[in-house]
Amino acid sequence: MKFITKITVVFVLGGIFLLSSCLKPEEFPDEPIIEFVSFEAQGDSGVFVISFTDGDGDIGLEVADTLSPYNDSSFYYYNLYYDYYEIMDGDTVRGTADPGGNNFPTAPAISLAFRVENITPIGQNKALKGDVKVTLEPRYFNANSNHSDSLLYKIVLIDRALNVSNELITPIITR
């Protein structure tokens, strides 16, 4: 009886090994792909969650990544950008820091930049799939604008190989 049990265990373990070796790891393009997951207003602050995939897993930067092309005067110093837009008379218009609240196009555009930390996985399969949560505070809207009752963001994520993700356009956010 013990011999039959040992053979059964060997076959079961062998079957599990064969089945697991047939499962392919997830594969994604080397360029990041981002999708909108959620937005939650928390008073004047707002919390965005976006999902991402990246085939070669080179998402994020180390604190010490400050040499070119990641130096602080470079576009690539940050790797996550939120560009602010307002809905004015049915049109999507780039939000500006116009102190008069009229959103004049000559005023500087509002763009929020973040550094996502390095999350490259260890091991052979570097493919990444996950979520990024960003809190916009003290406000997710332009308090100086006369048109910030309906807004949206255009978001991009950049990996260490400088591949720029698709441009994610959030749903319209009303306050």
Over residues 108-152, the pLDDT tens digits come to 999 999 999 999 888 888 899 999 999 999 999 999 998 899 999
Homologous superfamily (CATH) for 26-174: Immunoglobulins (2.60.40.10)
- For residue 54, give both structure tokens: 């990246």
- Sequence spans of domains, the chain: 26-174
Over residues 79-99, the pLDDT tens digits come to 999 999 999 989 999 999 888
Q: If we measure between CA atoms, which residue out of 117, 102, 110 comes closest to residue 136? A: 110
Distance of CA 30 to the CA centre of its chain: 15
Residue 59 per-residue DSSP state: -
Q: What's the pTM value of the predicted model, to 2 decimals?
A: 0.83
**Per-chain mean pLDDT for the chain:** 88
The Cα–Cα gap between 58 and 61 comes to 9
